Amino acid sequence: MADMLAISTAVKEGRRKIVEQLVNEALAEGEKPEDILNKGLIVGMNELGEQFKNGEVYVPEVLVAARAMKKGTEILKPLLLQANVQSLGTVAIGTVEGDLHDIGKNLVGMMLEGTGFTVVDLGENVSPDAFVQAVRDGAQIIGMSALLTTTMPMMAVTIKALEDAGLRDKVKVMIGGAPITQEYADQIGADGYSADAASAAELAKRLIAA
């Protein structure tokens, strides 16, 4: 039986090679990729987040853990993606201006691709203008991620930029990230909020159908 505790511990301790080895072993034992992600990698990163909050670890440790987590998700990515012949639509996704957290955004992008969307990854620290340009370039959905309470307001600024550009009614806006809530989405006039990557893909399907 695959050892999810060992995977989450290896992420927490930033042991990239061990994460790689354990994830490959878990797959060889028949463990589902989504279970390795949710019960191993994400658990480790969330636990480290708590330690970070409590001042038990600092930015360098978190950075090393993020790299270890990335290694694990790189192995899982092709397995989480299913072959879809026809695209369901185009989603431009990015972390808002001022925010460099990209792990959750990358997972959401991965799930959207797996569901059949074409994903344009705008990266991190994405300006409102860059989101506006993505709509001009054909994105039907904008996906914004924010992990910091200080960068959340950039979501509202981006929605305002879409309005000012006369594009608000041409695009659906979905948002997410640890500090984001449905209440906040309603407050800033986003079309949808989701708490995790799997429900983000479901939300995108509902938005494109609407």
Of 148, 146, 159, nearest to 186 by C-alpha is: 159
Kind plus residue range of the DSSP H or E element containing 173: strand 172-176
For 126, phi then psi, to 5°, come to -90, 125
**Binding-site member from 17, 29, 46, 182 for ligand B1M (CB under 6 A):** 46
Q: Min. distance of Cβ 38 from ligand B1M in angstroms?
A: 8
Q: Decide whether 138 or 179 has the Cβ nearer to ligand B1M.
A: 179
Q: Does 116 bind ligand B1M (CB under 6 A)?
A: no
Q: Where are the alpha helices (DSSP H) in the chain?
A: 4-12, 16-28, 33-35, 42-53, 59-80, 103-115, 128-136, 153-164, 182-188, 197-209
Residue span binding ligand B1M (CB under 6 A) among the ranges 4-12, 17-25, 139-147, 161-169: 139-147
Pair 159, 144: CB distance under 8 Å: no
Q: Min. distance of Cβ 30 from ligand B1M in angstroms?
A: 24
Report, in angstroms and rounded to the nearest whole number, the Rg of the chain calculated over CA atoms: 17
Q: Pick out residues in 170-209 that bind ligand B1M (CB under 6 A).
A: 174-179, 194, 196-197, 200
Q: Min. distance of Cβ 149 from ligand B1M in angstroms?
A: 4
Q: Decide whether 87 or 149 has the Cβ nearer to ligand B1M.
A: 149
Residue with tokens 């990335």: 70
What is the binding site for ligand B1M (CB under 6 A)? 42, 45-46, 48-49, 52-53, 59, 62-63, 66, 93, 98-105, 107-108, 143-145, 147-150, 174-179, 194, 196-197, 200
